[in-house]
Amino acid sequence: MTDEEILDIANPMMDSLMDASTNIDFEKHIQDFSERMKRIVTQEYFQRVCENYQGEKGFFIKRELVAVFKRPDAAAIVVH
């Protein structure tokens, strides 16, 4: 896949994550998570992280693409 094809899939997911974090909406936040990730990120942990982050840094407003790292069966996206 090209970087653009990967970002076409990932950007809506990242938008959803940012919106869910802003609204502290756990169900929306984990909607695209694997079962493994759902076991790791608990509702209590998510709530605490969101409240701490918002208290210290405010809300997510924008993001900038830093890089797309491709593997044979996966991709990692780094944003700032």
Q: How far apart are CA 14 and CA 29, in angstroms?
A: 10
pTM, full prediction: 0.82
- At 72 the pLDDT is 93
pLDDT in tens, 43-74: 999 999 999 999 999 998 889 999 999 999 99
Q: How far apart are CA 17 and CA 11, in angstroms?
A: 10
Helix %, strand %, coil % of the chain (to 5): 60, 15, 25
- At 60 the pLDDT is 84
Name the residue type at position 8.
D
- At 76 the pLDDT is 96
- At 66 the pLDDT is 97
